[in-house]
Amino acid sequence: MTTSDGVVKDVKKAPAKDPWDLPDVSGMVVGVLGGTGDQGRGLAYRLAKAGQRVIIGSRAAERAQAAAGELGLGIEGLDNAECARRSDIVIVAVPWDGHAKTLEALREELAGKLVVDCVNPLGFDKQGAYALKPEEGSAAQQAAALLPESRVTAAFHHLSAVLLSDPEIAEIDTDVMVLGEKRADTDIVQALAGRIPGMRGVFAGRLRNAHQVESLVANLISVNRRYKAHAGLRVTDV
């Protein structure tokens, strides 16, 4: 840089932020919509076991309360709307066929919230699982379109519900691909994933890249059937 008196001075750039310098999310309340299903229950269990305060949401409060009682660990059970209102981070783990309807009904309650969509649009036939492509491009992009006042991210797609729910398994050895439009939001989701022993959140791009991440679950289902496994993912060299 040249000053007004003609003197040239070196300008030092601020050091790049360490991508693994993630925020403390231990005090945040996590709501899980669809928390009575296998994936939702597994995530609720693991996060609560890691010390996170967790609320399970369901269309029927009674079902949510029953699931929370079975899991223990201080987990609460509420209807979806109250779960969304009382949570800082809301994980969407509902079935694909109820995805749009659920989010449309909760637009007001989810306004301003950090929403983490982990829904995988899949179809099944005699040849096995295959990916569906929503009109918006992906489940996460559909969520963003339906929730314009929310901060939508995508993560937790490739986790085995069997492993998540098994109390005999101490660590879940896998990476979580995290997508979103704002780095501050994806940092929070990465940090949340990292609360679960053995798990790591890895930034994987913007929401426009969510379709291929969601679709990969169809391949993992094929892997699991072939090898009688509960396969996950590891991203190398990061």
- What are 120-154's pLDDT values in tens digits? 999 999 999 999 999 999 999 999 999 999 999 99
Residue 204 has pLDDT above 90, yes or no: yes
Q: Rounded to two decimals, what is the model's pTM?
A: 0.91
Backbone angles phi, psi at 193, to 5 degrees: -60, -40
Q: Which two tokens stand for residue 114?
A: 């950090």
Measure the CA–CA gap between 122 and 217, rounded to whole angstroms: 8
CB 201 within 8 A of CB 178: yes
Q: Any idea which of 11-20, 29-38, 87-96 has the lowest mean pLDDT?
A: 11-20
Torsion angle of C-alpha atoms 160, 166, 167, 172, degrees rounded to 10: -30
Q: What is the CA radius of gyration of the chain?
A: 19
Q: What does the pLDDT average to over 65-80?
A: 96
Q: Which pLDDT belongs to residue 35?
A: 87
Given this model, what pLDDT does residue 185 score? 98
> Mean of the per-residue pLDDT values for the chain?
94
The pLDDT > 70 percentage for the chain reads 95
Q: What integer is the mean pLDDT of 191-208?
A: 97
Q: In angstroms, rounded to a whole number, what is the distance separating the alpha carbons of residues 188 and 27? A: 12
Nearest-CA neighbor of 107 among 134, 76, 145, 139? 145
Number of neighbours of residue 11 by Cβ within 10 angstroms: 6
Q: What is the DSSP letter of 89?
A: E
What pLDDT sits at residue 24? 97
Whether the predicted pLDDT of 8 surpasses 80: no
* More confident site: 10 or 229: 229
**At residue 155, does pLDDT exceed 70?**
yes
Q: Of 114, 228, 58, nearest to 160 (Cα)?
A: 228
Res 7: pLDDT: 59
| Contact between 11 and 42 (Cβ < 8 Å) | no
Tell me the mean pLDDT in the region 60-80: 96
Residue 13 has pLDDT above 90, yes or no: no
Tell me how far apart the 2 most distant CA atoms of the chain are, in Å. Answer: 78
Check residue 172 and give its pLDDT. Answer: 95
- Give the pLDDT score at 3: 59
